[in-house]
Structure formats: structure tokens, C-alpha cells
């Protein structure tokens, strides 16, 4: 499962949404500003408990602001 943690107003989040959509990748968008449960889930991914977004998770792999090549590499492994 692919999850994208971010906000609607974040330019980088929108970039990754488009990246995933144009490749027909099924993903769940989790808005960490409008949903406290999503924010808590994201905070629990990091030791510092900060809202480090955008973050993409692919099963157990966590990517923070990945390059296109790195993100594609992990998508290909799914």
C-alpha cells in the first residue's frame, strides 16, 4: 500500500500526487493539517514526532522528499 502524507496547500505534496496519478499508482492521500489521526500517524513514523511532510510510505519503506528516480525505484519493487 502506498500512502502520501502531506497537505493540499503544499507544493511538493501536490507534485507527488501528480507523480503517482500519472503512473496510475493506487495511493491513499493523508492530509496531516485537516485530520489529526493522519497527523498522529505521520508523527509516529519519526523519532522527533514532527510533521515531516511530504512523506511517502510504500509498505514498510518510508521516503521523505524522494527524488523521482528513488521513488520510481521503490514503486517498481512493489
- pLDDT tens-place string over residues 7-19: 999 999 999 999 9
CATH at 34: 3.40.30.10
Res 12: pLDDT: 97
Q: What predicted TM-score, i.e. pTM, was given to this entire model?
A: 0.95
What is the chain's pLDDT, residue by residue, as a tens digit (78 residues)?
Answer: 999 999 999 999 999 999 999 999 999 999 999 999 999 999 999 999 999 999 999 999 999 999 999 999 999 998
Model pLDDT, residue 78? 86
Range of the domain at 63: 2-76
Q: What is the pLDDT of residue 15?
A: 98
Side by side, which strands form the sheet with 55-58? 27-31, 2-6, 55-58, 61-64
Residues in the chain: 78
The whole-angstrom separation of Cα 71 and Cα 73 is 5
Total domains in the chain come to 1
Amino acid at each position: 500500500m502506498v500512502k502520501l502524507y502531506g497537505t493540499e496547500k503544499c507544493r511538493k505534496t501536490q507534485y507527488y500526487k501528480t507523480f503517482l496519478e500519472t503512473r496510475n499508482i493506487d495511493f491513499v492521500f493523508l492530509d496531516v493539517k485537516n485530520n489529526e489521526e493522519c497527523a498522529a500517524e505521520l508523527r509516529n513514523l519519526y523519532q522527533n514526532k514532527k510533521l515531516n511532510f511530504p512523506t511517502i510510505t510504500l509498505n514498510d519503506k518510508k521516503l521523505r522528499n524522494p527524488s523521482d528516480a528513488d521513488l520510481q525505484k521503490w514503486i517498481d519493487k512493489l
